[in-house]
Structure formats: structure tokens, C-alpha cells
Amino acid sequence: MTVGKKLLWGGLGWALAGPIGGIIGYAIAGMSDNQSSYSYTQTGKPHTQPGDFIVSILVLLAKVMKADGKLLKSELDFVKKFLSGQFPNHQVQQFMDLFKDILDKNYPLKDVCRQIQRQMDHPSRLELVHVLFGLSAADGHVDETEIRVIHTIAGYLNINPNDFESIKAMFVPNTTASYTILEIAPSASNDEIKKAYRKMANKYHPDKVTHLGDDFQKLAEEKFKAVNDAYHSIKKERGIK
């Protein structure tokens, strides 16, 4: 298919469904009808299965990957493994082809994030931040430039600073990480710690992202486990029964 027609479809998607729709529209034009994993609704708005969530993630993953000026095999492997948990092999390859195209372009980060913020619930957006830190840690090191990009993304997604620091502490541990994960100060009382634990356990409960599929539930379970581990670490440290 010619570049002109790709741009036409991309422009249509952008007009109908914002920047994410533009990316989907461009991808549709690059696939034959019998291969495409995308379709249009009767209203003309593009959608994917399981949805724009995956395309959103690809855009944000690309931003984080390019943050330190290096594109590592470990990071590409992370993206491919992540997609493999959501789609059959032929669709994984289509999404990887789309991802490589996204890596070559410079989509407006703020516009994409604002669209995500409007269309996704808070637990899903927290899951996005978790995935981005997972990519950053894929090579065994979370780079400061990547943290800054994720912080910017989290701000655009309307993720509050405490939630951001909580998820960050799951990947960048320090002496007060357990308290940071529970979003509470080390000076907090035992009763305040118990209350904070109940609040965080509810916030990160895997049932809140069942609509995103099994793989996202596994990620939610990782956060839920991190909250439990942080709480038990503090209980042991303080001798809380």
C-alpha cells in the first residue's frame, strides 16, 4: 500500500479517535484485510482487541526505550514477551512491526497521554506505569533518564506523586522503600501503617484490572504482592502482631 494511502487512513483515525486512533489507522493501512487485527465500529472509530490499551502502551514504551538513547535487545524482548501474553503469534508480530514503526516516529506524548487519561480508569493507568518501570528494569538497571520520562508520563496520566513513588519503590528499592510503597512516612504510627496497608491492598487488588486480561492481572498481582511484602517487612521491623 502506498504511503499516501497510509497517511489518509492515519489522518482519518486521528480525526476520529485522537492520536491513538491515528496510529491504529496507519497500522490498518499497512495490513491486508485478512491479516489485520483491527476493525472499525459502526461509528467509524477504530478499536483493537483487547483495545487501544495495547497501542497506548506501545507509544509509551517507545518513549521510555528512547529516553537513554539506547535501544537494547533486553527491552525489545520485554515488549515481545509482554505482547505474547496477550495475543497469538501472528498478531504479536504485527504489533512488533507497529512498535518498530512507532520507535521511528515522535508522537506527541502529552496528547497521547491525555487521550489515555480520558479513556482509561485509574487502576488501568496505574498498571501502565507499572509496565513502564518493568521495561526500564528489563536490563537490570533503571536509568535516571527513564525515570524522568516515566514521571512525566505519570503526570500527564493524572497519577498522583504518591502513587508514582509507590510503584517506583517496587523497582528502585531504598532503605525506606517499604514505607514508600505503602505511601506513608517512616514516622507513622502502627495504626496508621495498618490503615495504609488496607488502603493500598484495595487500590492494587488484581480484581480491579480483570477487564484488561490475564497478563495484566499477573502484573497487578506483582504490585499486590509488593504491598504485602512491604507491610510484613515493616511489621517484622517494628514487632507488630
Which pLDDT value is given to residue 58?
85
Low-confidence ranges of the chain (pLDDT < 50): 1-16, 31-51
How many CB atoms are closer than 10 A to CB 129?
22
Q: Quote the crossing angle between the two packed helices 89-103 and 3-29, to the nearest 10°.
A: 130
Contacts of 115-118 with CB under 8 Å at 24 or more apart are: 115/18, 115/19, 115/20, 115/56, 116/20, 116/56, 116/157, 117/156, 117/157, 117/158
Instruction: Give the separation between CA 29 and CA 109, rounded to whole angstroms.
Output: 23
DSSP state at residue 212: G
Instruction: Give the separation between CA 127 and CA 81, rounded to whole angstroms.
Output: 16
Which pLDDT value is given to residue 216?
75
Instruction: Give the separation between CA 134 and CA 170, rounded to whole angstroms.
Output: 10
Which pLDDT value is given to residue 76?
92
Which pLDDT value is given to residue 26?
55
Q: Which residues have a Cβ under 8 Å from the Cβ of 65 and sit 6 or more positions away?
A: 71, 72, 75, 103, 135
Q: Quick check: 59 and 149 in contact, CB under 8 A?
A: no
pTM above 0.85, yes or no: no
